[in-house]
Amino acid sequence: MLCPSCRAENPAGATLCRLCGRPLGELVAGTLFASRYEILAPLGRGGMGAVFKALDRELDEVVALKVLRADVAGTPEMERRFRSEIKLARRVSHRNVCRLHDYGEAQGLRYVCMAYVEGHDLKQAIRERSLTDSPFGIAEAVDIARQVAEAKQISGERTTNFEEINLIAHELRGQGGTFGYPLITVFGKSLYELTKPPCRQDDASLEIVKAHIDTMRAVLRDKIEGDGGEVGQMLFKALKMAIAKYAPPAAQ
């Protein structure tokens, strides 16, 4: 089967292109996948595959169905990571982590069925808020960053990068001076640089993110203006110590 987008050859019966991950004309609204999930609408597409809004006919429940690209899911390393993260995700129950319902393979493709959460992703929310008179405030942005970091730490998710945190840091570095907290701008810029791709996505990286969040929350909690004087120097010192402890030499 020839992909209409990238012209790659695909096995007969495939529903997504093995190279670009685009539907091959079959996985559209109304399609029944894995003899259980009725495709309702596409939600997004990324480097690992596509995500669809679907109806679980067995449970009569709307779910999010992530269908992995065949070339990505078929490698031994990805197979190991896939199974490991599935096992971990099934043990996690947290308000900031999407629940996993089912996983398997059908029509030559691996899939993951997750809870469907109505709403917008962070990138869309930031884009929409930037077009209004009420962009994200500093406290709100710092709290979102904390929630994202907490979710990543609890779930053990390592297949995605720190795009969400990097987006928030981008917002923070431009708002500190506007709201009278220049230290937020400094710490936000540091966090932005350290979470730019390609960045590490391990436990040490999360500790660095948490150190930045802690310093920014201290600035807001104590209403530290200007350079913060002696308190500001203490925050700088604590942050530098955390970076020196957890970051590789090239990132310090």
Residue 124 has pLDDT above 50, yes or no: yes
Which residues of the chain does CATH 1.20.120 include?
Answer: 122-251
Residue 87 CB neighbours (<10 A):
11
Percent above pLDDT 90 for the chain: 12
Q: Taking the domain 122-251, which CATH number applies? A: 1.20.120
pLDDT band at 158 (very low <50, low <70, confident <90, very high): very low
Q: For 89-98, what is each residue's pLDDT tens digit?
A: 666 555 656 6
Sign of torsion over alpha carbons 92, 94, 97, 101? positive
pLDDT number for residue 64 = 92
- What CA dihedral angle connects 76, 77, 78 and 80, to 10 degrees? 90
Among the four given CATH numbers 3.30.200.20, 3.90.1640.30, 3.30.565.10, 3.30.70.260, the one describing domain 32-115? 3.30.200.20
Q: How far is CA 166 from CA 145, 146, 191, in A?
A: 9, 12, 7
Locate 118 and state its tokens.
């109505």
9 versus 121: which is more confidently predicted?
9
Locate 250 and state its tokens.
């090239």
Q: For 23-47, what is each residue's pLDDT tens digit?
A: 565 577 888 888 899 999 988 876 6
pLDDT number for residue 31 = 86
pLDDT number for residue 156 = 46
Which residues of the chain does CATH 3.30.200.20 include?
Answer: 32-115
Residue 7 has pLDDT above 90, yes or no: no
Judging by beta carbons within 10 Å of its beta carbon (0-12, 13-18, 19+), is residue 247 exposed, middle or buried? middle
3-state secondary structure of 158: coil
pLDDT number for residue 159 = 38
**Least confident residue range of 9-23, 60-74, 237-251:** 9-23
CB 31 within 8 A of CB 77: no
Whole-structure pTM over 0.85, yes or no?
no
